[in-house]
Structure 1
């Protein structure tokens, strides 16, 4: 915070303090006052007097004497037969100021209940009193005559008269043991030998008048009203409370609530100057003093308002400054991020250009603007589907006048770029009628794009897994053979061996003539013919991954053969290789087909949608199922090559006899090497597997 702000705060604090002192001086009375209010009484707020009838407790103010006790939220002053009790406020009440000879003004209000036995006609009394402090009564009477506490005032309530109705009681006012007025009969709220009432006792020390009100009489005239100077009766410190003496065990006097207020009013001293007795001059003096005070308050108010406005303006200016600084800082941060990202993207583009330094056969580098125009700025309406690394858009590329499919690789991770490079460097060099042709690539502004020829019928899985669509047997047969031809080209006919590592129905694309074309070479790896592909992390779609890849993390051509076998079975059966919605014994496709083969019911697994085809050929379908089992053999050593598998499909080679039960293969993996042993009773055991499911 600035120095100016600190000064403003100090001015404001000083102004507030000055106003507070003025309030204390002019509006807060300086006289001593005592006030308490009890709406009910509980054990924790009262305490019993000691054996000497004395009361003191640092936290509790209500003292119970003799037989007084707490009862149902009230104080039963005398609950024993022929007993007595008293209730007092334990601290002295200052009634007369010796220095100024002022007398306190007070008001005491209490509600009560009197229980009595009407048949016995034995009634005690309940007395509110003020007498000298401390309270020294030991008998239940205030010793109205010849007693040591005969200086008191009291309000007495009793039913000691045969002429009273059930709801009537007698009210009496006493000063120093003498009644200063005749007893007054008053009516209470009567209910089953129970009278409820309320008493207000007020003393005005300025006018020296004592008033007593019973029940709802106030603000009407009081029951008792007497001019009396209590300054001549009560001492400096007084005790206030109640005392009662019962005559019968059914005679009870209960205090329900008690409020008390006492204060010394401010009295103007007489003016000793020359204007004494001159009323007009007194009024003028008071008016002048009032005007001065009013002007002073207005000045202080104006100063306070000015300081408040100044502080508010400073606060608004500081907040606006902080907002501008924050916006400028945020703008600079975004600009820096954009520059860093642009520099990073340019660097990445140069790295990728270096990767593709040698001219790729057929495919070429395209500009980002070309792709934007081809896809209507990558409109959502152009999305064909969403793969593992991002969406695929349809478009028309004017430079080559072809409909194309553009795959945007949204994942800018190391793996995403690695697959992008693999696609460009491998698939752009491959030429086969059953492979998707890569037409171009683009890496600008950090975005990676691959451009392929458009496959009008999309992917194989959208037909064989969607039972609302049909695909006839001749199409399925040709698709299977086309996929086999593509894998033969990759494994043995090209200059290097290419292991696809992600053969599945979703990556078998269909053109407008339903010719199969294998695509998505992002996970493909190269090796020399006769050598194995060594990978440290398993890749591919988990349902199509061969057992040896799961155990060792290494794969080769045999792994592609296994995946081809799974796809072949899916084509023939028209379902996914793992289907949790079917019967428990049919969830795993390979195990179910092998079981049906062993039971002689192989034809029962065929997709019902092709059974009624006019071109349906049961011999060819069975051959496809057997090739699928042969290729999906758990033991890689027992699997055929792709050229052997295609020869079997064309009935140019015979299929070896497969075991009637699906073999179980056990694997033993060491840190140095992986060995695979063929067993008949051991299942695969996996201790730790790192899976990388990219699709």
Structure 2
């Protein structure tokens, strides 16, 4: 029997070996047993970013630039874990070889997991969710053994090199430190793991080693009833993985699995050929039995990382059935691509004909095609009760936000109704094109869009606790300090993703507390990307008219009109000081009637006078750790440094907040910026149109005072 690249066989003789049936006491007892050597392409289901490469399965994309994505590979047939008349769930045993390699050794983050899932279509979120679940904890009924390469404070990770047992939650029920067995997930070496579960004993053991021999001691040994966590009698098994703003590549090289309702399920079935190749990695749970090293799966059409040996082996397929199957796949792909292209062209033509006077119509059509869902105007009008004013939950610079209830699903959502001006349409296009491609647990998730009857609408997840500014200044209860710290860390994580972890850098340009939403767990979700801009990494941004909200704007942004990641860092610094002090960035009558005080200036003055802790919100009644408060205030000042080059990166801020790095020394006296008066006036004239006297320029100092003289901190463009 011939096989494709010596790997996945297409002969029907092995298909019968996938699911083995036995009969005991007159009852049908179903067991499942397979390995990489006997799987066919049709026996695997690749989801998300998962793909075949050089005879193995890669769960994440092969990109040289940092990105956040997730992928999953599943055995396509469901596995029976419960059956009538049996008190205990099925026992199972699986072993696998994997590696975590990195195109950029300094870019880490993400991981992979062996998963038991009720669903064979769902792919979870990227980052710390490892493609297992999404931010809402869906789907339910998931059991996973994770191999995590980055410490995530939200999930109470012990470090960035651990194994965890996840039971319906990304917070691991049991954790094993891989340092104790001298295994480094990020080393790029092949790592072997064994997972054994006893149904009658309700016990799981996880082993990890570089060696092909199963260790004597497990790294995780725990007791739990699988029946309490799985939702269905049959479940799907496989692997998921994700990147977290990194260039990590997660590869499954070998896998075998067996399950039964016996006390001891068959462990690691012998590979079909039965003899190991020279120099191969042997997956041996015991020392006296050998199995084949990971075989090749299938050659890829465009394999950028293949070696000459890989190219040679990929040309050895003489099986007509292989060729026919491959040709069919190629034909289907080409036909599908052609059909999608026709649909796209038809959509663009129709929209252009309808809106031929709108210069952005083609851009809108292109971006809309990428969106997850198109809602009808009728559906959203019904959801908001005709855009009833009583359902207004917020107002932005270019639109109004309504609370809506979708009749089809019963979900409660936020519907943003963009203004009808040209600028409103520009904001719609910007927000749609940018946030539609972003996935991070600390970003507001876009559910879909609508463009009908001259209306442009965006549909988001509704954040049950509203915006951060309302929680700080309008709530009847004081926002506790632990909540504030978690919110600041979440926003920092989102900005690190936007600045350093996306394929194209995203500059938000409007970081402020009213654009930070809070979900039911008071987790921060950054939203409102109407002013955001995308630029290629290491490219200089174009100068524009300064846009944003007074009190949050970096001085150099007002001077040059160039928004960069450093201008976002300044805005984040203002947010940090606002959250820690409980004071708005620009406050009227704070230091006297008719006088407005800038928060950043005020905290700098307290720091100069060695009275920094006086900035702490008095409403907290000292119910906070003084060391944490001081750290947060210093982070806020470091981000608010007038010199943009002295500000930290947002990834650096995250490391400071979690204690992985020290806070840079913040000078007592606020640094100054050196601009000549003529240069200052010329730049302001080019960059900032009529601000109605809101900007005051001091020509008696080398530093310009660029803050509102009249309070309120309005938006402007």
When normalised by structure 2's length, the TM-score is: 0.45
Which protein shows a greater Rg? 1
Structure with more relative contact order (C-alpha pairs < 8 Å, separation 6 or more): 2
Given the two structures, how large is their TM-score scaled by the length of structure 1?
0.47
Higher-helix-fraction structure: 1
